[in-house]
Amino acid sequence: MQHHSGASAATDNPAVGSLRHVASFPEALGTGIVMHTESALDTQVLSDIGTMIEAYEQVLSRFRDDSLVQQMSKAEHGGSFDFPDYLNPLFEIVDLLFAATQGSIDPLVGADLVKLGYGPDQSFHPRPDVRESLGWVHGRARWDEAVTRHGTTLITRQAVQCDFGAVGKGFLVDLLSERCAEHSKHLLIDAGGDLNIRAATPVSIALEDPSDDEDAVGVAEILNGSLCASAPSRRRWTAELEGQGTGKQPDEQHLGHETGLVTLHHLLNAIDGMPVEDVMATWVTSPNPSGTTPLDVHDFGNFPTAVADGLSTALFVCDPDTLSLSFPFECAVIRNDRTALVSRHFPGSLFIR
């Protein structure tokens, strides 16, 4: 099974083979969701899951014109927006990621993505003034200043373009895993490479080479927890900034250089709004609840996929040691020079040095 963000579980893996019942939701979250379960999910459960996915997207999707997030982007003078109560842990994780990265991870980076061409219309054509308007250093609203949160009520004073994608996909996977738990003891849920696994024996996960999606650079084994990956290789586009053409090749250009044709991607540093250039790929594992969470970190054990999802993005802008002060996790990182970092207890290895 190939997964868009850099992880795959071999179909001949015995642990996956024992999860012989498969249900898929190909349109969910833009990447699709595939659920492998030990026991078949009945029609009512599958219907409930479809309803959950629809309701979730209608609240959080920045690509749907009818979503609550889109209403926030159109409220010129701001307003009070009531999100479902079950999203409170998602907002808590977002708050903690914002604080741990000193603002480098910020939901309001959605405005920068739109300016770069990755908006609801997916034009992939940057706006002419993009260089001077990206990031909060150039005046874009900040999460801690433009949004006041009271539980799941968000209060704004201006239009804000939120993107909860760093955490949102993983959070939905956790919700679906909880919904299925009473019907199937063992399962594997895959949302475009965000994996939640509860298996009888460890599942081997191939770690996709960010430079070649037909190859692997490592393998991990997960028995009971989550693995999420991030890489810019799947959401990448080239565009020419007006008045800056040079004729150089796209892979030679970056947005910060005074050149024309540039290569862009969706993993931004929210401070300056720029695509991150020095990291190629990240993988994060997060444990399920165990009762052994260190006292100096927050316990989001009921949402391991949301945590792993958020951290796989945060590792593009923040070092693992800093993030470990706030979250329990293990990770592997490949930098742009093909050097690698693997944490001590990461449940796998990379084939590169």
State the pLDDT at residue 1.
28
The helix or strand, by DSSP H or E, that contains position 47, with its residue range, turns out to be helix 43-60
38, 184 contact by CB (below 8 A): yes
Q: How many CB atoms lie within 10 A of CB 139?
A: 10
- DSSP label at residue 134: -
CA distance 221 to 112: 36
pLDDT of the chain, 353 residues: tens digit per residue: 223 346 554 444 656 668 999 999 999 998 899 999 999 999 999 999 999 999 999 999 999 999 999 999 999 999 999 999 999 999 999 999 999 999 999 999 998 888 888 767 676 677 777 777 888 888 999 999 999 999 999 999 999 999 999 999 999 999 999 999 889 999 999 998 899 999 999 999 999 998 888 889 999 999 999 999 998 866 765 766 554 443 344 444 444 444 556 666 778 899 988 888 899 999 999 987 654 444 344 557 689 999 999 999 999 999 999 999 999 899 999 999 999 999 999 999 998 76
Stated pTM of the model: 0.88
CB contact at 8 A, 198 and 42: no
Residues making up the chain, counted from first to last: 353
d(CA 30, CA 265): 16
3-class DSSP assignment, residue 50:
helix
Between CA 50 and CA 135 the distance in angstroms is 36
The per-residue pLDDT for 15 is: 64
* Structural domain spans, the chain: 63-166+197-234+275-350
63-166+197-234+275-350 sits in which CATH class?
alpha beta
- Inter-helix orientation angle 165-181/43-60, to 10°: 160
> b/e per residue, 236-263, with b = 16+ CB within 10 A?
ebebbbeeeeeeeebeebebeeebbbbb
Q: How far is CA 196 from CA 17, 54, 312, in A?
A: 16, 20, 14
pLDDT number for residue 242 = 52
Distances (CA, A) of 304 to 1, 14, 155, 169, 178: 21, 24, 28, 12, 11
Q: Which amino acid is at 257?
A: H
